[in-house]
Structure 1
Amino acid sequence: MSARSPRVLVVDDEADLRELLELTLLKMGLDVDSAATLAEARALLAGAEYQLVLTDMRLPDGLGLELVREIAATCKNTPVAVVTAFGSADNAVVALKAGAFDYISKPVALDQLRVMVQSALRLNAEPAPGQPPAAPPPASRLRGESAVIQALRAQIARLARSMAPIAINGESGSGKELAAREIHAQSSRAGKPFIAVNCGAIPEALMEAEFFGYRKGAFTGAADERDGFFQAANGGTLMLDEVADLPLAMQVKLLRAIQERRVRKIGATAEEPVDVRIISATHKNLAQCVEQGSFRQDLFYRLNVIELSLPPLRERLDDLEVLTGAILERLGTFEHKVALGPGVLEALRGYSFPGNVRELENILERALAFADDGVIGVGDLSLKGARMAEPTAPPPSAVAAAVPAAPAAAVPPLPQALPSSLPDYLIQVERDIILRALAQTQFNRTQAAQLLGISFRQLRYQMQKLNIQEPDA
């Protein structure tokens, strides 16, 4: 056996199971040590370094959970997997919360064991001799340098090493899917699929087929066999976005699939194993949903093994400049650079951003459509309730009082005879009224829009439609 072979420690008091695990691991080319008690395991851990520890939950002199906690505290880079009794899902959840990398249930399925071991060994794998070193990880998708975002990135780096289910909480638009993709990218599953599913966008009648797939002829219209989300994400990560919107009937089926790690296609007679890490996300309070009876408590505990909370944008305004620059870089092109005018960042800092980063993207994209020569001004932002850095336009009543009223003849009177084309006549009336408002405000479009009782965006659209252009200076 090569000295460089990864070494695994197996801790189990059942001699038959211990021998089965040893033989399986040896056939995978691994070095294996075994122990029947906690005391033996501690002695071996004190004298050797292991790339994986596989322990039973119940041992003659204590619980495997003690070993999980000790290794998590002293050998932080050593993943620990636990073997749980059949149907003891609660023990698995407790072990994952204590820091276990993953779990496997008795009777041990050897195919699942091999997948789990390979996934654990990839965490600390070193490149083989002659192989180039691993490429540095890509830049984080979570932009910013504020204290909260740096703490979030550090937490994600720790969570990526585990296979425990993660529940991401955060307001709408705060970046829950970006965080899930970041966890996947830093995990040992990075080379496998990442599948994101919006649970609220799937009709209830199609949910089972979408999640688990179906066999050919299983129902009317099933002309071919099709995989579901679980099969598509096999080996990788499955993100369940807006999981609180799942109907109760689907929650039962999802719970079984997560616990047993097996799914059954519609029309099939046998289950098939799947290896996915579950990341759930919602903007609702799942604990309240459990109290209200709209979400199953057992599924809640199954999904909420590790909780990750994302801060809203208003709590990380120090990152606003970095986020804005990244968004504008994406919106612009090499030939058409995008820039912010004076006072724009100050105006953005005075806004509460109820839609968080997604709303910031929408605001900048909309402002860019109104901007002159790619320079976004404060008036292009169309923010409501923000503290503007530039003086705001006076209210319509003040503008009307300050600007002399145009004579009534400026508005075309109703003709004595009916117009030959009513649409053309109405267009002319609208054009004349807009020109009058622009003349009164010396072509200040913000003030003209207020005079007319419409938004700046509506005025700009109407000016483009009616080919009204600002006169040259």
Structure 2
Amino acid sequence: MGVRSPRVLVVDDEADLRELLELTLVKMGLDVDSAATVAEARALLARHPYQLVLTDMRLPDGLGLELVREVAATYKNTPIAVVTAFGSADNAVVALKAGAFDYIAKPVALDQLRLLVRSALRVHDAAPGARAVDVDDVDGPLKGGSAVMAALRAQIARLARSMAPIAIHGESGSGKELAAREIHARSPRAGQPFIAVNCGAIPEALMEAEFFGYRKGAFTGAADDRDGFFQAASGGTLLLDEVADLPLAMQVKLLRAIQERRVRKIGATSEEPVDVRLISATHKNLARCVEQGAFRQDLFYRLNVIELAVPPLRERQGDLPALTDAILERLGGPHKAALAPGVLEALAGYRFPGNVRELENILERALAFANDGVIEVADLALKSGLSGPASDDAAPAAPSSAAAASSSSPAPGALPANLPDYLSAIERDIIVRALAQTQFNRTQAAQLLGISFRQLRYQMQKLNIQEPET
């Protein structure tokens, strides 16, 4: 007896569209059942297992949204996608939040339908590349046995099966990209590319070419055809890191690409379909950016379908021993450094404004100063004024750079008591002065200092230099 073809249920009251969907799916080698009402669909769902349900949003005896909720609750291994009317972006977002795997807009483009179906079948079959979900995996990439990390892993496990866009929020250095990679690794797209794009590090003039690609001869220097980020991530996941830094002109083009599921290379005459799962990440408050006019509201709703919050390190202090051990093992390999008495206690009393990334920097620096592979409390060189019990409030403003420099400056002819703190204060003062001189234009400030934009951004995060509130 041969292997049975995957079975799909099509629910639509328009006979012509239902027939078109059936013919397309049959040509893909699938078995198809069809229903014209919610009641008929419920009866078929009770009788047969399906690898995919495809439903219209408006039916004679109810809404497709009812089916979405029922399938998501009762048939957890069956992805359900919705067909929405042209321009009904709000309906699509509501369906995704209710548990729909994906959506497709009318008039139905058959190439997009095929992409959707293949993605859904990968979800049902749990692609071989996807890791098994274990929300108690305290030694996995998202380390830590705290309650907030267990909740984060559980949420990631649920989100990994969907195609709904995810907006990851969290402070700088808290592990937003790591969470995005974990969503990808646990999804049926695990065997496909994961492309992470730092939206704040791409010059505005190059953004369209970087995102959508270009044809040979499209502009001076375009010697060959080149794919953009969307094509490179096809079949996989595209992470838009620091998405709040996108200029408004690029936000319009990105919105169209998300809505149409198509991109046009610079110099091309036609669009091409793309199949990507979108994840965005930012440390800024996107809703506030919308209020200030710096971020488009329609793009915000498209990207912010499901929110995922990554907790700061100060809210998971119990994970410090596991994180410290893992970082030292990675830095030292077989010759992992040991911790002297009091080191973990000193770390536990520090606020970590730079979160896990700052912990990595502190340990890497301490390892360089450690004698005989043993890290002492003094080797940590923790910043003064940022230690003490953690609280839910934001960290207090750092002292002015000039004050920090003067407070740690040695008397003339004397050596500094703490060289790392002394050098950090001087570096901070120079960067703050360059930013003030350029009205906080980071690109111009980097040019003034003779460093790259990435280097400046890294140093600002390391030294906790924040952009002033406007």
> TM-score normalised by the shorter chain: which range applies?
0.7 to 0.9
Cα distance between partner residues in 2 of 1:4 and 1:350: 60
Are the counterparts in 2 of residues 199 and 240 from structure 1 also a CA contact under 8 Å?
yes
Residue 110 of structure 1: how far off its partner (Å): 2.0
Which residue matches 1:287? 287
Q: Secondary structure at 1:95's aligned position in 2?
A: helix
Which amino acid in structure 2 is aligned with residue 361 of structure 1?
E
Which residue matches 1:60? 60
Which residue matches 1:369? 368
Q: Equivalences for 1:267-416 in 2 at 5 Å?
A: 267-334=267-334, 336-385=335-384
Are the counterparts in 2 of residues 25 and 32 from structure 1 also a CA contact under 8 Å?
yes
Which amino acid in structure 2 is aligned with residue 46 of structure 1?
A
Deviations 1:200-241 (A, max 9, x none): 001111111111111111111111111111111111111000
Residue 74 of structure 1: how far off its partner (Å): 1.7
Cα distance between partner residues in 2 of 1:347 and 1:458: 16
Which residue matches 1:202? 202
Which amino acid in structure 1 is aligned with residue 345 of structure 2?
E
Q: Secondary structure at 1:71's aligned position in 2?
A: helix
Are the counterparts in 2 of residues 173 and 359 from structure 1 also a CA contact under 8 Å?
yes
1:144 maps to 2:144: yes
Residue 87 of structure 1: how far off its partner (Å): 2.2
Which residue matches 1:402? none
Cα distance between partner residues in 2 of 1:341 and 1:29: 64
Are the counterparts in 1 of residues 131 and 185 from structure 2 also a CA contact under 8 Å?
no
1:455 maps to 2:418: yes
Distance 1:126 1:244, change over 3 A: closer
Residue 387 of structure 1: how far off its partner (Å): 5.2
Cα distance between partner residues in 1 of 2:23 and 2:78: 21
Q: Equivalences for 1:70-109 in 2 at 5 Å?
A: 70-109=70-109
Q: Secondary structure at 1:333's aligned position in 2?
A: helix
1:220 maps to 2:183: no
Give the superposed CA RMSD.
2.5
Residue 21 of structure 1: how far off its partner (Å): 1.5
**Greater CA deviation, 36-45 or 283-292?**
36-45
Which amino acid in structure 2 is aligned with residue 309 of structure 1?
A
Q: Secondary structure at 2:163's aligned position in 1?
A: coil
Which residue matches 1:412? none
Cα distance between partner residues in 2 of 1:450 and 1:3: 84
Residue 194 of structure 1: how far off its partner (Å): 0.5
Which amino acid in structure 2 is aligned with residue 455 of structure 1?
N
Residue 342 of structure 1: how far off its partner (Å): 0.8
Distance 1:306 1:94, change over 3 A: same
Q: Secondary structure at 1:124's aligned position in 2?
A: helix
Residue 332 of structure 1: how far off its partner (Å): 0.7
Which residue matches 1:426? none
Are the counterparts in 2 of residues 10 and 55 from structure 1 also a CA contact under 8 Å?
yes
**TM-score, normalised via structure 2 length:** 0.80
Runs of 4+ in 1 over 6 A off after TM superposition: 132-135, 447-451
Which amino acid in structure 1 is aligned with residue 206 of structure 2?
L
Residue 91 of structure 1: how far off its partner (Å): 1.4
Which amino acid in structure 2 is aligned with residue 375 of structure 1?
V
Which amino acid in structure 2 is aligned with residue 273 of structure 1?
P
Identical-pair percentage = 81
> How many pairs were matched up?
398
Which amino acid in structure 2 is aligned with residue 79 of structure 1?
P
Which residue matches 1:156? 156
Cα distance between partner residues in 2 of 1:304 and 1:388: 35
Cα distance between partner residues in 2 of 1:217 and 1:4: 49
Which residue matches 1:395? none
Cα distance between partner residues in 2 of 1:348 and 1:24: 60
Deviations 1:6-45 (A, max 9, x none): 2211101111211121222222232221100111111111
Residue 339 of structure 1: how far off its partner (Å): 1.2
Are the counterparts in 1 of residues 129 and 189 from structure 2 also a CA contact under 8 Å?
no
Q: Secondary structure at 2:319's aligned position in 1?
A: helix
Deviations 1:369-409 (A, max 9, x none): 000111111000000236599xxxxxxxxxxxxxxxxxxxx
Residue 51 of structure 1: how far off its partner (Å): 1.7
Are the counterparts in 2 of residues 215 and 226 from structure 1 also a CA contact under 8 Å?
yes
Cα distance between partner residues in 1 of 2:126 and 2:247: 45
Are the counterparts in 2 of residues 347 and 388 from structure 1 also a CA contact under 8 Å?
no
**Greater CA deviation, 196-205 or 45-54?**
45-54
Distance 1:290 1:380, change over 3 A: same
1:117 maps to 2:117: yes
Distance 1:102 1:388, change over 3 A: closer
Choose 1 or 2 for highest CA Rg: 1
Cα distance between partner residues in 2 of 1:325 and 1:448: 38
Residue 337 of structure 1: how far off its partner (Å): 2.6
Are the counterparts in 1 of residues 130 and 187 from structure 2 also a CA contact under 8 Å?
no
Which amino acid in structure 2 is aligned with residue 112 of structure 1?
Q
Cα distance between partner residues in 2 of 1:388 and 1:126: 46
Cα distance between partner residues in 2 of 1:204 and 1:76: 43
**Greater CA deviation, 248-257 or 263-272?**
263-272
Which amino acid in structure 2 is aligned with residue 328 of structure 1?
L
Cα distance between partner residues in 2 of 1:88 and 1:278: 19
Distance 1:238 1:126, change over 3 A: closer
Q: Secondary structure at 2:72's aligned position in 1?
A: helix
Are the counterparts in 1 of residues 133 and 157 from structure 2 also a CA contact under 8 Å?
no
Residue 456 of structure 1: how far off its partner (Å): 3.7
Are the counterparts in 1 of residues 328 and 337 from structure 2 also a CA contact under 8 Å?
yes
Q: Secondary structure at 1:123's aligned position in 2?
A: helix
Q: Secondary structure at 2:100's aligned position in 1?
A: coil
Q: Secondary structure at 2:125's aligned position in 1?
A: coil
Which amino acid in structure 1 is aligned with residue 24 of structure 2?
T
Which amino acid in structure 2 is aligned with residue 293 of structure 1?
G
Q: Structure 2, unaligned stretches of length 5 or more?
A: 390-409, 424-470
Q: Secondary structure at 2:173's aligned position in 1?
A: coil
Which amino acid in structure 2 is aligned with residue 179 of structure 1?
A
1:40 maps to 2:51: no
